Chains A and B, each alone.
Chain A
């Protein structure tokens, strides 16, 4: 699975580089946050131990490493890959779960605040695409199921 999420060749170069460590805000600010360690473990095939770690959620997805990286790759990709695997195994911070559930149910992460809109004299908000979105979600799940049956693998 990690191989389908990551380009290990690029990551190998990354392991020997480390240049973006000093500009990564989380590396500088959060004790114990160090994607270099994570990348080493990914390359050694021992990333499992990071799936429960809060550190993989401390990447801010600020894309700074990506922009500074001579490979235009970045720490970020390693952290994102581990978060994706962690969520597939049901390991995520409660707020992420709440956010996802609200999204899947309503197509949004919050509904327009009607009383406040009135106070500010704002017009009726436009309709959301909820129904179409729910249908689309169903189609995606169905297609995934069909694909899983065909290949005999669970793409999760």
Chain B
């Protein structure tokens, strides 16, 4: 396997450092050749930056890719937005030699060059394709048999497909395959492909954002899902934090939201505390308790102080 640089992105490092923690744990357990390199900036985020200045969107992303290009390594990210934005720009420059030349003329003045040799992958398709379902089944120590888990792919894991080529953009299967590889039932929903709606919070439309989160959560709760799994900090923010805000207003929700790396980490035998699940706003306890009962595990493993550090 080729070495890769982890592109953490702004949101995970600024708001959800525990997601970095669980990612590192699974990288280590699978002995993946991950590197960390100096110099990454914001990917940049499309809705905020591209709308204001397309050229800055392009040169910033090109510079980030160039950092991996020049080391001859790939990029893997646990954030769908980062991969999608970097890939969108990479695709734009590869199909437009003139624009590529203009960008490289600018990058040259800071000693960089974009050639696009670095392959860009999101963590979920990366685990599916490069680590492989077979290897995952062999490596895990516990499975989720008897648990019902639903994947929210997140728009930018799979779209735009012309730039990403990660999975089928309207009928994706890889995340579901991974859930099944971990032994759980992959719950299918009508809202499977629906955008999480977090983008609406970024443009000051909080009520609409809540409305979209609610639709999905209600459907999943009605379908008897034990958890929703996501692998995008924006989707996590939407379903964990916004769900918490709705619950605080008295809405009956309470569906645990488990990051892909946390799910994998649990199956590898790590505790919820170790993985940082204790920092979620919506408690993961119902999920963990049911699982512990199914596996006959001693429940003392679940710390009473769960959710005590959720004020990050």
Which chain A residues have a beta carbon within 8 Å of chain B's beta carbons? 25, 29-30, 54, 57-58, 60-64, 66-68, 72, 80, 83-84, 87, 92-96, 99-100, 103-104, 107-113, 116-117, 119-122, 125-130, 132-133, 135-137, 139-140, 143-144
Contacts and interface: CB of A to CB of B under 8 A. Distances in A.
B28 to A, nearest CB: 13
A8 to B, nearest CB: 19
A64 B193 contact: yes
Contact of B15 (A58, A104, A110, A143): A110
A127 B60 contact: no
B17 A117 contact: yes
A92 B195 CA distance: 22
Given A67-B161, A99-B202, A120 B21 contact: yes
A113 B203 CA distance: 24
Nearest to A121: B21
Given A96-B202, A112-B14, A119-B309, 19 more contacts: A25-B197, A58-B203, A66-B160, A80-B50, A84-B54, A93-B204, A95-B203, A96-B52, A109-B14, A120-B20, A121-B21, A129-B63, A132-B110, A136-B63, A139-B109, A139-B110, A140-B59, A140-B106, A144-B55
A140 B202 contact: no
A96 B204 CA distance: 9
A80 B51 contact: yes
B133 interface: no
Interface string B44-58: 111111111111100
Interface string B146-181: 000000000110011110000001100000000000
A112 B159 contact: no
Contact of B170 (A67, A72, A95): A67
B55 A57 contact: no
Interface residues on B, range: 35 or more
A57 B40 CA distance: 28
Interface of B: 8, 10-11, 13-15, 17-18, 20-21, 24, 36-42, 44-56, 59-60, 63-64, 67, 106-107, 109-110, 112, 155-156, 159-162, 169-170, 193-195, 197, 199-200, 202-205, 208, 211-212, 215, 276, 279, 309, 312
Contact of A128 (B41, B110, B276): B41
22 contacts: A60-B195, A60-B199, A61-B47, A67-B170, A84-B51, A95-B202, A99-B45, A103-B45, A108-B41, A109-B11, A109-B14, A109-B42, A111-B13, A113-B14, A119-B309, A120-B21, A126-B38, A129-B38, A129-B39, A129-B67, A136-B106, A140-B106
